[in-house]
Amino acid sequence: MLRSRQKLKSPLAMQNLHRLNNKRILLGITGGIAAYKSAELVRHIRKAGAEVHVVMTPAACEFITPLTLQALSGNPVHTSMLDPKAEAGMGHIELAKWADAVLIAPASADFIARMTAGMGNDLLSTLCLVTNAPVYLAPAMNQGMWLDTATQKNCETLKDRGVTLFGPDEGYQACGDVGPGRMLDPEVILQHLVGHLESGLLAGKKVVITAGPTREAIDPVRYISNHSSGKMGFALAAAAAEAGATVTLIAGPVHLPTPERVQRVDVITARDMHTAAMEHTEGSDLFIGCAAVADYRPETIAESKIKKDPNSPDQTLDIKLVRNPDVVASVAAKDNRPFVIGFAAETHNVIEYAQDKLKRKKLDLIIANDVSDTSIGFNSEENAVTLVGADFEETLDKCSKRQLAGHLIELIAQQYNLQTSN
């Protein structure tokens, strides 16, 4: 008796799709009538929060146009290994390195045979040879081709090499035959993909991070600022994105490249940062206030450069300062606030001051570091901190800011999950 076509049993089957958030999926399409289903598959993958690049074989282009897949994926479609324009942009080697997973749907009998033989005579087969990402195949072919001994042996060989097959399904086929060989429905393929990809600790969460200094103008050429390089905040943004979060990085004036898979919002002053933080934390899950925000700003900004008075005997200049809004406290005071993590950069009594700040500003966690140690902190490539909560404290020893960020995101995710599960 033939198995019925596989369908999603209920909306609950879609509950883990957030695990694809921020993932990079390389979708390969080979020649076959099932190629029309690939358009729907692209739409579902993007809806799950992943980015998609599509690679088509020449035969696939006979069944569905690259323009259709380009419109649905939001990225150029790759069809030729020798395309000068493609190689000048994201070349085939970079494309292979870019992917978190390679999914080939439909995978024809011909492509499976060429992949088994280790051939690289088109872009898609070459990418499969080059990539270190896991490769998944959704076979689609006539039932006779699927049941043929050669196809079965090829599939077993690929499985032995670590390639995973999704399907095929059984049922009526375009040629009129009935039997195994149908490509699984796109929703089912997506569920299989979700089940095989490792879930990040913050998968599907919206995280907002502030980083760097702020600048408070005195006149058109002078300002008040601090020594923050933004490196710690940028490292945290990269680590959160790698953990599967959708990350918005609100950055003060720094000269750092934007981490991959991170949306960046540039600001200058503390008030700019406050406005951006209040806006972008709407609907967010976590907020990490890593920026070194200026506590004060000049009450008035001179319209022209302040000149030295050659007749002044003491050569002093009085500037009245007023308080800036407290960014992290404002976020913590919001209705439907996110899980809020602050920073305490102190020169002495570090843990004591951090605990006071945690309570006073009603934060969930605070990251304390000793900026009096010139080997860590501001402008350094390394740091050492203590993560402090109401009933939690863990010290992380000196290491690179990138390593430290990974450890911090792991601990923050654990504490966030503990709180939200209660």
Q: Using one digit for the tens of pLDDT, what is the confidence trace for 205-259?
A: 999 999 999 999 999 999 999 988 999 999 999 999 988 899 999 999 999 999 9
CB 164 within 8 A of CB 189: no
Annotated binding site for CTP: 289-291, 295, 305, 325-328, 343, 357, 361
Cα-Cα-Cα-Cα dihedral of 169, 170, 174, 178, to 10°?
170
The CA-atom distances, in angstroms, between 330 and each of 34, 135, 225, 274, 295 are 53, 46, 21, 8, 14
**Quick one: which of 147, 129, 130 has its CA closest to 139?**
147
> Per-residue pLDDT tens for 327-343?
999 999 999 999 999 99
Between 421 and 307, where is the model more confident? 307
**Quick one: which of 325, 267, 273 has its CA closest to 296?**
325
Per-residue pLDDT for 12 more than 60? Answer: no
DSSP 8-state code for residue 317: -
Q: What are phi and psi of 419, to 5 degrees?
A: -70, -45
CB 187 within 8 A of CB 7: yes
> Per-residue pLDDT tens for 268-318?
999 999 999 999 999 999 999 999 999 999 999 999 998 887 777 677 788
Domain boundaries, given as residue ranges, for the chain: 17-196, 206-301+318-421
- Residue 174, SS3? coil
Quote the radius of gyration of the chain (alpha carbons, Å): 27
**61 tagged catalytic:** no
Work out the percent of the chain whose per-residue pLDDT is above 70: 90
Task: Determine the pLDDT at residue 199.
Answer: 67
Superfamily of domain 206-301+318-421: CoaB-like (3.40.50.10300)
- Which CATH number applies to 17-196: 3.40.30.10, 3.30.300.160, 1.20.950.20, 3.40.50.1950? 3.40.50.1950
Judge if 17-196 and 206-301+318-421 fold alike in CATH terms: yes
Mention every residue, 6+ apart, whose C-beta is less than 8 A from residue 11: none
CB 266 within 8 A of CB 43: no
Q: Which residues lie across from 385 on neighbouring strands?
A: 396
Annotated binding site: 289-291, 295, 305, 325-328, 343, 357, 361
CA distance 48 to 44: 6
CA distance 199 to 413: 13
Task: Determine the pLDDT at residue 87.
Answer: 52
Exactly one of 61, 128, 155, 175 is catalytic; name it: 175
Task: Determine the pLDDT at residue 3.
Answer: 37
Per-residue pLDDT for 7 more than 60? Answer: no
Task: Determine the pLDDT at residue 91.
Answer: 64
- Residue 259, SS3? coil
